[in-house]
Structure formats: C-alpha cells, structure tokens
Structure 1
Amino acid sequence: MNGNKYTNGEIRNGNGFETNGDSCTYDDLMITAKYVLDRIPKMPSIGIICGSGMGQYWNEGALADTLQDKTIIPYGEIPNFPVSTVEGHAGQLVFGACSGTYVVCMQGRFHHYEGYPLWKCAMPIRVMKLIGVEFLIATNAAGGINPAFNEGDVMLIKDHINMMGFAGNNPLQGPNESRFGPRFPPMCKAYDRDLIEKAKDIWKNQQFDGRLFEGVYTCLGGPNFETVAELRMLKLLGVDAVGMSTVHEVLTARHCNMTVLAFSLITNECVMDYYDHSQPNHEEVIDVGKLRQSTLRRFVEEIVAYIAKNRMK
C-alpha cells in the first residue's frame, strides 16, 4: 500500500473509499495500524511523544536517535496519518529498544493550529493502542506561569485544565467507538499517581541537573503566545504551565485505557507584567530543548526501565 496516496484532508471509510470526513472509523485506524505492524519486528508496549525541542537530532542526544535496532517510518508514508509542519518536530515514528524495552517514539506531534481537528491531532494515540501500546509518556515544551519556575525546569503534570474542551472542542466528540472506551470516560485520575511519585524518586536518585516540579498544565489553541491578561487569568485558575498540545492526547489515551505519565520542559517564563519588555518566541523553545535534551532522554530511559520491570504484565 502506498502511504503517500493519503493527503492531510483525506481519510478512508470502512469501504475503502477516500472521503473528506470528520473522523477516522475503526476500520480506517486498523488499516493504519496494519501498515505499521507490517513494518516492525514486534509490538511496542510503551509509546513516547517527543515534544518541541526534545525530538530532533542535536548532538545525537534525542531519545529516538539513541534507540537500539531502530525502524523509522515517516508520517507521510503512513495511511491516514497527518504530517507535522512545526520546526523541532522531525515527523516520523521511530521504533526500537529503550532500556531494553521495545517502544515507539513520535518524533513530532500534531497541533490544532496547524489546521487539524483535535481528533486527528490525537489519532496517533489510537493507532498506538492498536499496535500494542499500554503506557504513554507524553512530553511537551511549555511556558511557566508559576513564579517559582525558571527556564529549563521540568514539571511533572499532575492534572490539566481542558480549556479547549470548555469551548466545546474535544477529540472524543462524535459517535463513540466502544472498542476503544466508554462514552463518558472519567478524567479524575488522568495522570498515573504511582508513575509521578516514581518519576520524582528517579530524578532525585539519579541526581539529574536542574529542578523538578509537579503542577497543573493547560493547552490553548495557538499558534500565538498568550496575552498578559490571559496568563493572569490562567494563574488565577491554578495553572502552572501552558502549552499547545498534550491534553487532547491524554484524553484519547485515557479513553483507550492507557496509563499516562506526562511532563513539561519549561522553555520560557510567561510575561505576566505589562512593563516587562521580553517576548516569548519559538527559537527559545528550540534552544532550551537542545540544552536539556540529554537530561530528559536519560530521565525517560529510567522511567521506561521502571515501567518494564514493575508495571508491565
């Protein structure tokens, strides 16, 4: 099957016809999953989303670049898959061994601001489920709202506020596919508490450089950075860090009954004062990602080793 036949706006329905529909059916996703499974030696048990600045090939420090016995599948070759258009997102699935465990890395993700509906941004999570993934580690670059945060800090996500969902934009909208999960999935335990605590232990025991926090994340639509008034509002709501991804991926993962751990690399301190003349930009996101890439890679490797030893069946 030639994956390049499928463009961003095209999907396949259950009968194999190309349409510009509003979602992918279960059959569509099975086509995608089969394409992937036919090209890898075995099913991965852990999926890892490499966020901005954490998935590129800088000094061979990227997690996906250091996997053993790699298989690389560009997004553009995969039926029904979108294509990442953002700098810092390589745009490929990378399969291989991480700490001795077979994993899949999304080296680049998809965002609502690129023109994709949220269901399509999160569609790779359902494909992960179909190819065997039970644990999701999601990473992102985020702006620090919490005044205790500095550039380069890491925040384990203990909860999120789904601002886009408040506006009626949710990846689970539309007919429910019960083969993935229930119509009304609970989100009160979206982020696995055991993995959060273990991640904190790993960071302390390995004496990684930099500071580790725990906090609340929110996703906004982007692509613009936020106004001072918007950031002040988010702070009042209890948000510690803000980005443009992750929440819809976690919603989809939990609907699929995946176990989730997520963390943010704080790449900039949010401008909360009208008299502060600094301005956020994507270049600093990439630059901080380069500086912290090696530490975050080793952090994820230790987390994968823990999951493989203690949590996998």
Structure 2
Amino acid sequence: MQEIQTKAASTKQNTELLDRLRKIRKRLYRERELWFINSFALAWVIIFAYVPMYGIIYSFFDYFPGKKLSESEFVGLKYYIEFFTLPDAWLIIRNTLVISGLGLTIGFVSPILLALFINEIKSFKFKRLIQTISYLPHFVSWIVVASIIFTMLGSEGIVNDVLMKAGLINQPLSILGEGKYFWGLLTTSNIWKGVGWASIIYLAAIAGIDQELYQAGAVDGLGRFGMAWHITLPGIRPTVILLFILGIGSLLNAGFEQQLLLGTPMTREYHEVIDTYVYRYGIQLGRYSFATAVGFMSAIIGLALVLITNKLSKKLTDYSII
C-alpha cells in the first residue's frame, strides 16, 4: 500500500514538473521576439560581466604576470588580511565611507529636489531648457571637469583673482591644496555633474502619478508645496527606495577618476579611497592578486549591504527589489 502511495506521489510530481516545463516552453515561444532582442544584451553581460569573474581565483594565489596559475603558490586569504593590516587601511576606509556617505545623503536627495522643481515649472519651453542645462554636465569628461575646477579654484585661478582684486583676501586661498576642503569640493562636483541625469528617472516616476490626485488636492485646498509633499513624494516613494537600496551596494565604491584627477599629495589624507589605493599600490606595482582580493571583498560587502537593506526596507516599508 505504501509503495503504491509513493509511486502515485512520484507520478504526481513528475506530472507537475512536466506541466511547469510546458508552460515555460509556451511562454518562451510566445515571447520569442523579445528574447531574441534581449539575447544580445544577455550575451554581452555573460561575456563581459560573468566570464571575467573567473579571475577572482587569482586573489587566493601569489600570482605574478607571465606566470601560470598552476605555478603560483596558493596563499588563501593572505591578501584579504593584508589589506586590513596596512598602516593606511582605516584612513582609506574612512575616506571611502565619508565620501560615499555624502553621496548617499546630499547627492541622493539633490536629484529628487531637482525633479520636484522641474515638475513645478509650468512653461514647457522653460522646463525643457532647465532639463537640457542640467543634463549637459553628465556628458562632460571628468578630465574636462578637473581642468575647469583647477582653472577656477587654483592658486592663480579665477576665483582667487576676483577675491584679491575685490580686496577680500590678501593672498590666494589654497582651496585645492588643503584637505579640509576636498570632501565638500568633491561632493559639489559630483552633484553638479550627475544631478540632472539622475533626476530623469524621478521625472519619469512623477509622470506616472495619476493626475486626478492633483485635481483632488486642489479641491481640498492643497497648495503647490502641499501637493508635492502629500502627492508627488508618496507617488515616487517606491522609486526612491529602490534606488536607495541599489545605492547602498556602492558604499565602498566612492569613485575613482574624481579622486585621481582632483587629488594632490597635500590632500592624500582626505582623497585616498579603496579604488585609488588599489590602482596605485596594486595594479601599477603588478600586485594583481592583492588588487583582485580587495575588489572582490568590496563587491561581497556591497552585495551583503544590499541584501540587508532590502530586507529592512521590506520589513519597514513593504517595498523591496525582490
């Protein structure tokens, strides 16, 4: 009797599996054009994002360029531990967390505020003008941005020249040569360069809000600020939470080009982050195992932060990415 029940259960499971596979096959056939179009993007991701992950294995070996991996000594977690025993380890981690933290607070809020401001503009032409002006810096290379900043804020730059001619200062300010200004300067330049581009997704989310809600708000006597606070912000809340969760994953990626171009030996105590340190003392010195270990460790920590933040968000707000 038990054997018959076991066979019946097995047959039922096989039937359910076949039904599931049949549904998947029908869905794939029904969406074949979409899958064909996306197949190129999937191939690109597999080739350039997943295949290179094989290189993670080098972080566990004492590898030197030109040497086979099989000839390299297995060192385990040596390079992972080495990073935390460096004299500058906690200085680098501090700079990374502070710069990323400023980006996740001031830098994250700025495009939301810009999107709200653009949404309140009634003139279509003026709105398009503001959008275009705010988008343009995104397409400017960081090399050009760094050149503009040095021209404006250097010891012989325009800002110092104007201040001295106005009699406000007696000698040039060393804005780029003092570390205490670097975090503010970097955050400001990041916002200027990316705020317009980052606001696009919020503008798209605002465009999806039911216009009848605004009409009802007008009837209830809500002003423009009240509509933005009680209708627009709650309407884009899922988008804000989603982007914040994803942004948490880059907490240990505080940028690279910005620090490399704007940083000077005098500001190293404030501009050196994990990525620039790995580049200078890992890749440039041929220590690829060390560079791979630090990069992989940052990715794992970023993934863990995303999962933790996602779980907390789901528990507190009922919004999550999965």
**TM-score of the pair, normalised by structure 1:** 0.28
Larger radius of gyration: 2
Structure having the higher helix fraction is: 2
**TM-score of the pair, normalised by structure 2:** 0.28
Structure having the higher strand fraction is: 1
